[in-house]
Amino acid sequence: MKLHVIVEQDEAGYFVVEVPALPGCLSQGKTREEAIANIKEAIEGWLEVMESKQSFNPDSFIEVAV
């Protein structure tokens, strides 16, 4: 899965990362690399939580590429 993220440096020098496609999915790190590693973990957690909140019928899944 590929997602766009926004990386910005805050006034304290930390790098803050947001995933616009996943509301509330944010992370940060002392370095850009650390922030990106942290957002990958946050994305995995976000997806797990959202998946557990809904029951899905696997037969109804399809893959769409744009």
Q: What is the pLDDT of residues 1-57, one digit of tens each?
A: 899 999 999 999 999 999 999 999 999 999 999 999 999 999 999 999 988 887 767
User: What is the C-alpha to C-alpha distance for residues 44 and 5, in angstroms, rounded to an integer?
Assistant: 14
Answering whether pTM is above 0.75, one says: yes
Q: Which CATH class is domain 6-60?
A: alpha beta
Residue (of 53, 11, 2, 44) closest to 25 by Cα position: 44
